[in-house]
Structure 1
Amino acid sequence: MDSRTIRFIRRGRPVVLGNVPPDRTLLEVLREDLGATGTKEGCGEGDCGACTVVVGEPDGERLRFRAVNSCIRLAHSIDGLALWTVEDLAAADGTLHPAQQALLDSHGSQCGFCTPGFVMSLFGMYQNHVVPGEPVTRALAQEELSGNLCRCTGYRPILDAAQRMGELPRVAVDEGQVLAQLRDLRRAGDEAATYLAPDTLAGLLAARAAHPEAQVVAGCTDVGLWVTKQHRRFAQVLDVTRARELLRIEDYPQHLAIGAAVSLTDAFAALVAERPQLKTFASRFAGLPVRNAGTLGGNVANGSPIGDSMPLLIALGAQLVLMKQGGHRQLPLESFHTGYRANVLAPNELVAWILVPRPREGEFLRAYKISKRFDDDISAVCLVVRLELEDGRVARIGIGAGGVAATPVRATNTEAFLAGQPWTADTARQAAQVLRAEFQPISDMRASAAYRSEVLGNLLQRFWLESQGAASINLEQFQLQEAAA
């Protein structure tokens, strides 16, 4: 089979690349095929941000900009999109873009290896958030740069640069021109292609039935690591992110229906809109480029035991809709995984929708992520608890946990213990002991088994304290300037 041609817009012109293998990464194409060596490879895992680029895609009559990691993004995924790298920002006469000039003025580059990635995250932030005359907050700068690491610990001047960009003369992207160019692109490929990306759900399900051996990808934030770290090769890839039906978030009286191809950024925004207490948890899920590329359906289907979305969805009582040609079925999320990265999907099925119940009156919800770094890190333990009380007793309880078993799990023993019990300090202490004994976690580089078990119980006791109004025991209440005072 012939490899499919990639067409995208860069520097105001169409770029056409033929015979690109389906498992070739965007970073490889940039550096080795296009000579765009300003984009660096740091970790090859989507953790450090040195390889960050910005993609633009139509969003109605506007262009939506997303900073993404090119090291784990498959090159074919940008077919039909616009792309910016660090080489593309300066004007033809050499005048620097405000993202570059602000970094220069603020002395934000030290060894320089991470600098191109920071520049591109700043560019994405500039396009999405910087409005002339309106200040950029430090909090926004920190959130937008959460996917970029500086080994020289030079964050202060970089954050200064983020806040300074808006003070410089405005530089605008001609979105109308780019949108017109994108409309003129003609996507290549057919059913014999090695990279399949149908733009309808019907086409996607047909491709799944016809090519059950194809590697299914969404944001590729995990499959990309199989390519870069395990050197796995894929003869054929099926990309779910172009099926327009699965890019929707639909409102229903009893639940939100989140399409499997909806990005983590958009999925969490919808969840936070209904449950504002999830904002910190959502922003800590991963760095922004990973959230921009990754999808909620991909995180669920991948089934990593440390995937943070699943403990949350389990605690909320989410259901999955699995689809194939000619039918579908629905099941609780906790019934989907059968073992380490194993699930109930048939070879012709795909995860299509995640159904998340709406908040109930009186619901008390907390989501805890324990990791070595606050930003851009993988959980050692994740615990989400949703509680409803009636007359001081536990009427409904949902507990989802990650990092403590081969799959994300529901703490059924602890839920059963708490059901109908008075919600008291003594009940919480006893429940913490039940929770510690419910799982047999492993020891690894992130934490020991004993630590994980102990922390599970401690987090449940913290949940009790917060349910009683304690507010000074979590990072959401911590202010950096207070610590410096």
Structure 2
Amino acid sequence: MIRFLLNREIRVEERLDPNLTVLDYLRRHLGKTGTKEGCASGDCGACTVVVGELVTGEDGAERIRYRSLNSCLTFVSALHGKQLITVEDLKHQDRLHDVQQAMVDCHGSQCGFCTPGFVMSLFALQKNSAGADPAKAHEALAGNLCRCTGYRPILDAAEQACCHRRADQFDAREAATIEQLRAIAPRETAELNSGDRRCLLPLTVADLADLYGANPQARLLAGGTDLALEVTQFHRELPVMIYVGHIREMKRIEVGANCLEIGAATPLTDCYQALAADYPDFGELLQRFASLQIRNQGTLGGNIGNASPIGDAPPLLIALGAKIVLRRGERRRELPLEEYFLDYKVTAREEGEFIEKILVPRARPSQAFKAYKVSKRIDDDISAVCAAISLDLEDGRIVRARVAFGGMAAIPKRAAACEAALQGARLEAASFERAAAALANDFTPLSDFRASKEYRLLTAQNLLRKCFLELHAPAVETRVTAYV
């Protein structure tokens, strides 16, 4: 049984198919068709909804955190204990919500199919912004596609909605909503089942260890942004899932003197501040990771666990020397991340074992870290090549080098020959030319619809050259840093 708020109504669902997405639940079960299906893969944003969740601030006070999500990739079990808001819920009495009115005033809609998704992204932006910030507006809308209107009127609507924000019905009911969310907060392991399908929802990492040990065939579900594609794109059945999104220990970030400990179920949005503080390039790349809706759902552990050769986080973590903590029952073991990936979609994880946390070394004073993502679009796109370069510099010489790439092999991996060419070399163009040439010994990339093998190798070599230019002449602007 799961319990959640649909706007202000408490809903209790005892027998829903755990493979059911929030999008299909809204449209097929409730007849709420304002939320649209454009792609069923988290790319277009037409299905965007907003989910409110109780969080505790640094002052100890509880508040509701609103985040935009792709309902086409969110299984209904993820709603347990939360508030779901759809485009139908925004209008109050006979008045449009401010974000809806802004879209009307700024002529931000033509065919209208994508409009509900844009409206919900704007609603989440308004709830999380104190004023109009063009960069924040771009970030909020990067996961929403429009093929009619063009984006300028929609960005104008974002500015109007955030500049002239008025209290709405959600503000007026905040205290009552907090009480409702407290009343339905999960207090024990829950289960959603229908026929021979079920989803288990543990509250502690110990419960997860027990459940996964008893059900090693289960699929672990965190954000679901990759797993849900098996249902929506490949029409597969997932008989048993274990949802880890309620396990607080696995959503914690602890900043130590020498290490960042990041729970495997921590959404990428929450990882940003801790990682960007030590490694600005990591933060910059995270902002280009898919879309805000995906980052609000997808987790760092999930990006590692699905073992994709084109996942963006693993090359960066490998270059930084990160480790993962794997757990089975009461047993834990640490494993360097580079040793986790064995072959395409094959990992060192044993049966019944799961990733509990990721350990990322803190930045060193001598360390320079550069990360690059090359894709056809700046936002909401999959990498053709992802590169991460970590160098320790002393007196103009490279005393330590770790270089890792994604998109260049069946797994994200280090470039051993490239590292050897850099190790001990002077920080000069010739050193990076030798390292670029050595990449041909490290990788034999494949051609696919994203890039040819020749393009991938040349791009990887050019990223090394770019790294040198940024280190040698940091005042020279080499990246897109603003949108107008």
Determine if the TM-score, normalized by the shorter chain, exceeds 0.5: yes
| Partner of residue 72, structure 2 | 71
Give the counterpart of 2:431 among 416, 427, 431: 427
Pick one of 331, 336, 339 that aligns with 1:332.
336
Deviation digits for residues 24-67 of structure 1, max 9, x if unmatched?
A: 11111011001111000111110110000000111010111110
What does residue 403 of structure 2 align with?
399
SS at match of 2:49: strand
Shift of 1:384: 1.0
Deviation at 1:215, TM superposition (A): 1.1
Distance 1:113 1:162, change over 3 A: same
Match of 1:144 in 2: 140
Give the corresponding residue for 1:231.
235
What is the alpha-carbon distance in structure 2 between the residues aligned to residue 189 and residue 263 of structure 1? 21
Note if 1:160 corresponds to 2:161: no
- Matches of 1:210 and 1:480, distance apart in 2: 51
Q: TM-score, normalised by structure 2?
A: 0.94
What residue ranges of structure 1 are gaps of 5+ in the alignment? none
Moved more, 215-224 or 273-282: 273-282
- C-alpha distance in structure 2 between counterparts of 1:480 and 1:243, whole Å: 37
Please identify runs of 4+ aligned residues in structure 1 that moved more than 3 A: 186-193, 470-473
Do structure 1's residue 443 and structure 2's residue 447 form an aligned pair?
Answer: yes
Q: After superposition, what is the alpha-carbon deviation per residue over 1:425-468, rounded to whole angstroms, capped at 9, x for unaligned?
A: 11111101112431111111110111001100000001001111
Letter in 2 for 1:128: N
Q: Which amino acid aligns with 1:348?
A: G
Which residue does 1:20 correspond to in 2? 16
Task: Report the CA distance shift for 1:189/1:313 in structure 2 as closer, same or farther (over 3 A).
Answer: closer
Percent of aligned pairs with the same amino acid: 47
- Which residue of 306, 309, 312 corresponds with 1:308? 312
8 Å CA contact 1:201, 1:246 repeated in 2: yes
What is the CA distance between 1:474 and its match in structure 2?
2.3
Deviation at 1:248, TM superposition (A): 0.4
Asked whether the 8 Å contact 1:401–1:408 carries over to 2, the reply is yes
Describe the SS at the equivalent of 1:312. Answer: helix
Contact kept in structure 1, 2:250 and 2:356, CA below 8 Å:
yes
Partner of residue 178, structure 1 = 177
How far apart are the structure 1 equivalents of 2:192 and 2:268? 31
User: Aligned in 2, Cα 1:192/1:113: closer, same or farther, shift over 3 Å?
Assistant: closer
The runs of 5 or more residues in structure 2 that have no matched partner are: 57-61
In structure 2, relative to structure 1, the CA distance for the partners of 1:144 and 1:192 (3 Å cut) is closer
Give deviations 1:166-206, integer Å, cap 9, x for gaps: 31533243332112111212658757951111010100111
Q: SS in structure 1 opposite 2:426?
A: coil
Match of 2:101 in 1: 101
Amino acid in the other structure paired with 2:6 = R
- Secondary structure of the residue aligned to 2:480 is helix
Contact map agreement 1:206 1:325 (CA 8 A) in 2: yes
Q: Give matches, 1:213-362, under 5 Å.
A: 213-362=217-366
Secondary structure at the aligned position of 1:476 is classed as coil
Name the TM-score, length of structure 1 as normaliser. Answer: 0.94
| Amino acid in the other structure paired with 1:181 | Q
- Work out the number of aligned pairs and report it: 471
Structure 2 SS opposite 1:47: coil
Cα contact 1:397–1:419 (8 A) shared by 2: yes
Separation in 2, partners of 1:276, 1:124: 25
Q: Determine the structure 1 residue equivalent to 2:59.
A: none
Q: d(CA) in 2 for partners of 1:153 and 1:396? A: 51
Q: Read off the aligned partner of 2:89 and give its amino acid letter.
A: D
